[in-house]
Structure 1
Amino acid sequence: DYIVSPSLSEMNRMTNEELKHVKNLIVTCPGIGSVHFLEPVDLISASPTHDRNGIVKIFGSVIIIEPKVCTVYPGEENKPPIGQGLNVPAHIELLKCWTMDKTTQKPIIDVEHPRFKKHMKKLKTMPDTEFISFDIETGCWSFNVEH
């Protein structure tokens, strides 16, 4: 289940015009991660039905947060032009993004371990992302995307 801020009940009280300019939308999948849209988003156009009735369907079909992955607009054919709908800059945090020890199946939390260093290099050079941080305790990888 997704937790959304502003809440769905708050969104229900918004006018259609307000739903086209929702500020600080944060979508969280507890224990997995979150996406915080850094610019106002148009939930009407992002809705699968292109109206207020479909807004609830955005969470889990248009915005999908899964272990180690956050997808907005799965399939490029559904993605609107930059700056429209949900295609705006966002801050993403994904939990439990450690590299795992193949023998023990436990997270590698030794910063000097070669696999940890390789993993950090991978996170820092992920295409179309701006690396912000990695918390070794939670495995929380924080990064920004332009759209």
Structure 2
Amino acid sequence: MWNSIYDNFVQMLAGLRWSAFLAQNNNNIAQATRMRNVFRNDLYAISGLVIITVTICIAAAYYFILNCRGGAGYAFRVKFWFTALLANSLLISASVLFISVSMTKAYSSLNPFKYCLSLGISNLIYSALLFFVLSLIFKKYSVASTTPF
């Protein structure tokens, strides 16, 4: 289920369905199919693991390290929470973009960058949502119980 949601969102952001991509590259259909399978079988799983791991680490660091070090009121402001969310999202998006470009380098003749960029943008959105959800959970057990709201 996660894989198909991820796949549909990436295709929507790229503006090109995989079926249309394969039809455009019908003279090199085997290589186009292999590239699609790299996304479906490898990149979606890797990017999901990157999102989960990095977001948990950054959210835990924000709630349990940064806010405990300074005492009451150190980083309890919404601007610090938003900065942590933005840093998390941009770090994940850039990391996944770098990983996807390097993994699809062998298929550069097919111009896979729009799919790589779409994967990076979708990870930006998913990581922001996960950071928000983790904030709702972590704030109950942290001294920053009023952040973000």
Q: Which structure has the larger Rg? A: 2
> Which structure has greater strand proportion?
1
Considering the TM-score relative to the shorter chain, is it more than 0.5?
no
Structure 1 length normalisation: TM-score? Answer: 0.33
> Which structure has greater helix proportion?
2
Structure 2 length normalisation: TM-score? Answer: 0.32
Using CA pairs under 8 Å that are at least 6 residues apart, name the structure with larger relative contact order, 1 or 2. 2
